[in-house]
Amino acid sequence: MEKRAFIKSVALGALSIPILGAGRTTQIKMELPEQAVRLAKKLQPGDTIGLIAPAGVLDDEESIAISREIFEALGFKVKEGDHIRDRYGNLAGTDQQRIADIHQMFADKTVKAIVCIRGGSGTSRLLDRLDYKMIAQNPKVLLGYSDITALILALYAKTGLVSFHGAVGISTWSTKLAAAFKRQFIDNEPVVFENPKSKGDQIVQTKDRVTTIHPGIAEGILLGGNMTVLTGLCGSPYLPDFKDKILFIEEVDEDMGRMDRMFCQLKNAGVLAAIKGFVFGKCTNCKPSGGYGSMTLDQLFNDYIKPLEIPAYTGAIIGHIADQFILPVGVRVKMDATQGTISLLEDALKD
């Protein structure tokens, strides 16, 4: 799935002001009002799932057909947004059209869950015109990732709604992913997210390895998503307070120079100083910068994450990959940086 265009201008302001302290940065908070956590109801077979496209344009009818057939095969009815076939430049319709589909699905009492067909770019354009009061009154499952990070974080910051970072309609829906969908949304199980342990024909595991940056265990609310989109929200009311949170991030199609600037932005905005734990997923198709050489991702972790001396690990099955975790954003978890696990400590949905 293609990534949304790189956000070229990130706000220099932040929700917190970093000051130097002993050993690491501390934080003077300029807090947003704390929102009560809102949970959607778990799904039942036969419920209606709404399909929307709040970001990039859909190139063909087949993408819509496949998305619809996936959820019908999983035992659900499907309702399509009125504007998912529209186009405005590289976007799936004008801002007003994409907002209308979001509002329609949250307001529709027959729709029990909302799945984004794809990511791309443009979701951040919508945040200042969403009806957060109406959305808060109609909590529903929202599933997506990549550019949908903007919507997931904004809904949590403004309404306290727990949404889900995971596959979109045009993702590769394997039987493994379908089973994970059922466990999370129908069974509402207390999931433990852990990488596969298979070695295959190798003597040691070479695929989906976990690397510990700093050992330890931490508990906190899980927040995160795509790194470019998240850093683009710095200085806005749509980025949640990260104090004592567990931050997870992923990336795709970026070079290390831009990754360096984004890590620096999170540091300067006080986000890294505030968190209790850090999980990095996959950096799919990321590449070195040109010129005189390049920083490596490991060097960036050493520069920005290791000095925090908080539990941290990389390699989680999160990002622009098949069979990625379906992570509830806004739920309390326990992360073990040595074992490479994220365990839910509370239900992500209401029975």
For 79-138, how does the pLDDT look when each residue is reduced to its tens digit (9 = 90+)?
Answer: 999 999 999 999 999 999 999 999 999 999 999 999 999 999 999 999 999 999 999 999
DSSP state of 306: G
| Residue 83 appears among annotated catalytic residues | no
Catalytic-labelled residue, pool 83, 165, 214, 320: 320
| pTM (2 d.p.) | 0.89
Nearest Cα to 229, choosing from 186, 278, 265, 272? Answer: 265
Residue 30 CA from chain centroid, whole number: 24
- Looking at residue 350, what DSSP letter applies? B
320 is annotated as an active-site residue: yes
> 254 catalytic, yes or no?
no
Q: Minimal CA–CA distance to 84: which of 106, 66, 110, 61?
A: 61
Question: Rounded to an integer, what distance in angstroms lies between the CA atom of residue 173 and that of residue 93?
Answer: 26
Domains belonging to the chain, first-starting first, are 16-34+192-344 (3.50.30.60), 48-185 (3.40.50.10740)
Per-position pLDDT tens, the chain of length 351: 444 443 433 333 433 434 333 334 343 333 444 568 999 999 999 999 999 999 999 989 999 999 999 999 999 999 999 999 999 999 999 999 999 999 999 999 999 999 999 999 999 999 999 999 999 999 999 999 999 999 999 999 999 999 999 999 999 999 999 999 999 999 999 999 999 988 888 888 888 899 999 999 999 999 999 999 999 999 999 999 999 999 999 999 999 999 999 999 999 999 999 999 999 999 999 988 766 678 899 999 999 999 999 999 999 999 999 999 999 999 999 999 999 999 999 999 999
- From the candidates 171, 214, 250, 254, give the one annotated as an active-site residue: 250
* Catalytic, out of 124, 146, 171, 236: 146
Q: How many CB atoms lie within 10 A of CB 230?
A: 27
Give the 3-state secondary structure percentages of the chain, helix then strand then coil, rounded to 5: 30, 25, 45
Around 333, how many Cα atoms within 13 Å sit in the side-chain half-sphere? 31
User: What pLDDT shows up at residue 35?
Assistant: 65
